[in-house]
Structures are given as structure tokens and as C-alpha cells.
Structure 1
Amino acid sequence: MQQIEIQHEEGAGRGRYYAKVDGAPREAELTWVERGDVRHATHTYVPDEARGQGLAEQLVKAMLADARDGGFRIAPDCSYVATYFRRHPELAELRA
């Protein structure tokens, strides 16, 4: 899995984790919306140019690290994030 720099931006109760992908017209991203102490992971997108390289997983791991540090939980509204939580039951304390 290639390490790519994941960046984070947020404001007004919503945000995203994202990474530039060489040769792609659009960034890879995981978007979220905040409701109380829960951040709802709403969508994960990886351009065709970067699929199969573990980039979506890196986006989710960045959000999980922030959840641990920031004291919020994650509602996996996005199918990729829901699948990630199913495959990693040890993360149950971070799931809303």
C-alpha cells in the first residue's frame, strides 16, 4: 500500500479527508457531516487512476485516528466505511 499524504478540512459541521492523485482530475476523498458527537461518514471516492492501492483505507484510518484523538464516534453511512467496520470489530468503540 502506497503512503499518500492525507489532508483534512472542516467547517460548519462538515468536512472531508482528501488526497491528491497524480494524473486524476479529482481528489480521493471521504466526506462527513457532524451531528452532535457523531461524524457521519457520507461518501468515499477514489479516482480510477488510484483504485486498488489502499487509498480508501488510508482515508478511513485518518478519520479513525481523529476520532480517537477528538473523542467523537463515526456513523458509517457510506458503504465502504460500513464494510471497514465490519472487517475490524476491534474498532467497535469508535462506531456510533
Structure 2
Amino acid sequence: MSDVLYFEPDLSQFRVHLEGDYYAVVKFEIKSDVYVITSTKVPEELRGKGYGKVMMEAVLPELEKMGVKVKPVCSYVAHYLERNPQWAHLKA
């Protein structure tokens, strides 16, 4: 598993390299200093193998460094933040 992260502000997304040619994608909208996370996508072939966690462990530290808050519209992100209280300070 890899934590290589690509921030693509022009596409309003983060891409996280998972393995081989596979990437997870986190889409967002920016509203003030809040990143509204609208969707996440892990390739179908890799679902259920823990890559959602890999994706979040790559993206959340980057958002923390940027000093922004997160509003999870995406249910996966909302559940992840609920289960991982160490990221509670990022919630808008």
C-alpha cells in the first residue's frame, strides 16, 4: 500500500496511489476554509480490502497541514471521522 498523494485543485480532487495503476479519488468543493468532501472512489477491484482507510490516512493529514476544516457529505468520510476521533478537530 502506498501513501503517495496527488492534490489536483484544478480538478477539485485528491488522488491517492494504491497499487499498480490503481488510484483512489476524493472529490471536494471549497467553501471558505471548508473542504466539502462530496465523494470518494476506490476502484471496484480493490473495494473491501482496506484501501478506503489508506485513502483517508493520506488525505486527512494533508488537509490538516493546509489548516482547513472538512465537511463530509460523502457517507464513507463521515463514518471514517466518527470512528477515528483523532481527526475530530478537522470537522467543520
On whether the aligned pair clears a TM of 0.5, the verdict is yes
CA distance in 2, matches of 1:76, 1:20: 22
Q: 1:9 and 2:7 equivalent?
A: yes
Q: Which amino acid aligns with 1:77?
A: V
1:47 corresponding residue in structure 2: 43
Query: Which has the larger Rg?
Result: 1
1:72 corresponding residue in structure 2: 68
Q: 1:84 and 2:88 equivalent?
A: no
Aligned partners of 2:3 and 2:55 also within 8 Å: no
Name the TM-score, length of structure 1 as normaliser: 0.78
Deviation at 1:46, TM superposition (A): 1.3
Aligned partners of 2:25 and 2:40 also within 8 Å: yes
Identity across matched positions, percent:
29
4+ residue runs over 4 A deviation:
20-24
Aligned partners of 1:4 and 1:55 also within 8 Å: no
Name the TM-score, length of structure 2 as normaliser: 0.81
5+ residue gaps, structure 1: none
- String of CA shifts for 1:66-95, please: whole Å, max 9, x gaps: 122110111111000000011112321111
Q: Are the structure 2 counterparts of residues 68 and 55 from structure 1 closer, same or farther at C-alpha, using a change threshold of 3 Å?
A: same
Q: CA RMSD in A?
A: 2.2
Higher share in helix: 2
Q: Which amino acid aligns with 2:41?
A: Y
Superposed, 1:14-53 pairs within 5 Å as 14-19=12-17, 22=20, 27-53=23-49
